[in-house]
Structure 1
Amino acid sequence: MRNLFIFIFSVLMCVKSYGQNEVLAQQYYDKGEYKKAIIAFEDLYKKSPRKINFFISIVNCHQQLEDFETAEKLLLEELKKPPLNPILLVETGFNYDLKRDTITAQKYYENALEYSKGKISSSYIVGRAFEKKSLLDYALRVYQNAMEENPNYNFMNNIARIYGEKGEIEKMFSSYLDLIRDRVEQKGYAQRIISQFLRNDPNDENNTLFRKLLLKRNQQEPNLLWNELLSWLFVQQKQYKRAFIQEKAIYAQGDYSLQRIFELASLSIEDGDHETAREILNYIIENSNQDATKIRASQNLIQIDLESITDGNYTEIQKRFDTLFETYGRNFKTVILQRDYANFLAFQKETPETAVQYLKETLQQPLNKRQQAEIKLALGDILVYQEQFNQALIYFSQVQQTLKNDVTGQEARFRVARTSYYKGDFDWAETQLKVLKSSVSQLIANDALQLKLIISDNSLEDSTQTALKKYAKADLLAYQKKDTKAIETLEDILQNHKGEKIEDEALFMQAKLYEKRGEYDKARLNYKKIIEFYKDDILVDDAYFAIAQLYLNHFDDPEKAKQFFEEIIFNHQDSIHYVAAQKSYRKLRGDTIN
Structure 2
Amino acid sequence: MRNIFIVFFFLIGAASFAQSELLAKNYFDKGDYEKAISIYEKLYKESPYKRDYLSALIESYQQLENFEAAQKLLEEKIDSRRTQPQFYVDLGYNFALQNRDTLAFDNYKKAIDAIDEKPNYSSIVAKYFEKYSLLDQAVIAYEKGMQINPELDFNIQLARLYGEQGKLELMFSRYIDLMQSRPTYKSIAQRNFSLYVTEDPENEANVILRKTLLKKSQESPDLLYNELLSWLFIQQKDFKKAFAQEKAIYKRTEEVDLGGMTDLALITIAEENYENAIDVINFIIENAATPSSKLQAYQYLMKVKLKTSEEKDYPQLEEQFEALISEYGAGKNTYQLQIDYNHFLAFDTKKVDKAITNLKALADEQLSKYQEARVKMELADILVFDEKFNRALIYYSQIQKMVESDVLAQEARYKVARTSYYKGDFVWAKAQVDVLRKSASQLIANDALQLALMIHDNSLEDSLQTALKKFARADLLALQNKNKEAITQLDDILTNHKGEKIEDETLLKQGELFEKTKQFTKAEANYLKLIELYKTDILADDAYYRLAKLYENELQDQVKAKEFYEQIIFNFADSIYFVEARKRFRMLRGDEIE
1:336 to partner: Cα distance = 0.9
1:228 to partner: Cα distance = 2.6
**1:182 corresponding residue in structure 2:** 181
C-alpha separation in 1, matches of 2:390 and 2:56: 72
C-alpha separation in 1, matches of 2:587 and 2:268: 22
**Pairs within 5 Å for 1:174-573:** 174-252=173-251, 253-254=253-254, 257-573=257-573
1:438–1:445 contact (8 Å) kept in structure 2? yes
1:268 to partner: Cα distance = 0.9
In the alignment, residue 156 of structure 2 is paired with which amino acid?
N
Comparing 504-513 and 365-374, the one that deviates more: 504-513
2:285–2:294 contact (8 Å) kept in structure 1? yes
In the alignment, residue 407 of structure 2 is paired with which amino acid?
V
C-alpha separation in 1, matches of 2:469 and 2:136: 71
1:98 to partner: Cα distance = 6.9
The superposition leaves residues 515-539 of structure 1 with CA deviations (integer Å, 9 ceiling, x where unpaired) of: 2222223333333333333445433
- Are residues 17 and 355 of structure 1, via their aligned partners in 2, closer, same or farther at CA, if it must alter by over 3 Å? same
The superposition leaves residues 466-509 of structure 1 with CA deviations (integer Å, 9 ceiling, x where unpaired) of: 33322222222222222222222233333333343333333333
The superposition leaves residues 418-460 of structure 1 with CA deviations (integer Å, 9 ceiling, x where unpaired) of: 2222222222222222222234332222222222333333333
C-alpha separation in 2, matches of 1:506 and 1:106: 65
Q: How many residues align?
A: 593
C-alpha separation in 1, matches of 2:504 and 2:68: 70
C-alpha separation in 2, matches of 1:326 and 1:272: 29
1:408 to partner: Cα distance = 0.8
2:377–2:395 contact (8 Å) kept in structure 1? yes
1:154 to partner: Cα distance = 0.1
SS in 2 for 1:357: helix
C-alpha separation in 2, matches of 1:101 and 1:534: 56
1:387 to partner: Cα distance = 1.8
C-alpha separation in 1, matches of 2:395 and 2:217: 55
C-alpha separation in 2, matches of 1:111 and 1:581: 47
C-alpha separation in 2, matches of 1:129 and 1:26: 21
Pair 1:117-2:116 in alignment = yes
In the alignment, residue 548 of structure 2 is paired with which amino acid?
A
C-alpha separation in 1, matches of 2:68 and 2:449: 64
Query: Identity rate of aligned residues, in percent?
Result: 48
**Pairs within 5 Å for 1:30-109:** 40-51=39-50, 79-91=78-90, 109=108
The superposition leaves residues 239-277 of structure 1 with CA deviations (integer Å, 9 ceiling, x where unpaired) of: 222223333333431596533332221111111211221
1:426–1:455 contact (8 Å) kept in structure 2? yes
- Are residues 525 and 163 of structure 1, via their aligned partners in 2, closer, same or farther at CA, if it must alter by over 3 Å? closer
SS in 2 for 1:438: helix
- Are residues 152 and 468 of structure 1, via their aligned partners in 2, closer, same or farther at CA, if it must alter by over 3 Å? same
- Are residues 85 and 447 of structure 1, via their aligned partners in 2, closer, same or farther at CA, if it must alter by over 3 Å? closer
C-alpha separation in 2, matches of 1:100 and 1:463: 70
The superposition leaves residues 164-207 of structure 1 with CA deviations (integer Å, 9 ceiling, x where unpaired) of: 34332222222233333333333333332332222221111111
SS in 2 for 1:15: helix
1:211 to partner: Cα distance = 1.8
C-alpha separation in 2, matches of 1:33 and 1:465: 54
SS in 2 for 1:120: coil
C-alpha separation in 1, matches of 2:314 and 2:99: 82
C-alpha separation in 1, matches of 2:102 and 2:472: 80
2:71–2:94 contact (8 Å) kept in structure 1? yes
- Are residues 41 and 244 of structure 1, via their aligned partners in 2, closer, same or farther at CA, if it must alter by over 3 Å? same
SS in 1 for 2:120: helix
1:439–1:445 contact (8 Å) kept in structure 2? yes
C-alpha separation in 1, matches of 2:453 and 2:98: 65
In the alignment, residue 367 of structure 2 is paired with which amino acid?
L
SS in 1 for 2:313: coil
1:250–1:256 contact (8 Å) kept in structure 2? no
2:511–2:527 contact (8 Å) kept in structure 1? yes
- Are residues 54 and 276 of structure 1, via their aligned partners in 2, closer, same or farther at CA, if it must alter by over 3 Å? same
- Are residues 175 and 8 of structure 1, via their aligned partners in 2, closer, same or farther at CA, if it must alter by over 3 Å? farther
SS in 2 for 1:314: helix
Q: What TM-score comes out, normalization by structure 1 length? A: 0.89
1:317 to partner: Cα distance = 1.7
- Are residues 567 and 32 of structure 1, via their aligned partners in 2, closer, same or farther at CA, if it must alter by over 3 Å? closer
Comparing 159-168 and 90-99, the one that deviates more: 90-99
C-alpha separation in 2, matches of 1:90 and 1:470: 69
- 5+ residue gaps, structure 2: none
- Are residues 49 and 262 of structure 1, via their aligned partners in 2, closer, same or farther at CA, if it must alter by over 3 Å? same
C-alpha separation in 2, matches of 1:137 and 1:590: 30
C-alpha separation in 1, matches of 2:233 and 2:540: 37
Comparing 269-278 and 115-124, the one that deviates more: 115-124
1:200–1:593 contact (8 Å) kept in structure 2? no
2:328–2:334 contact (8 Å) kept in structure 1? yes
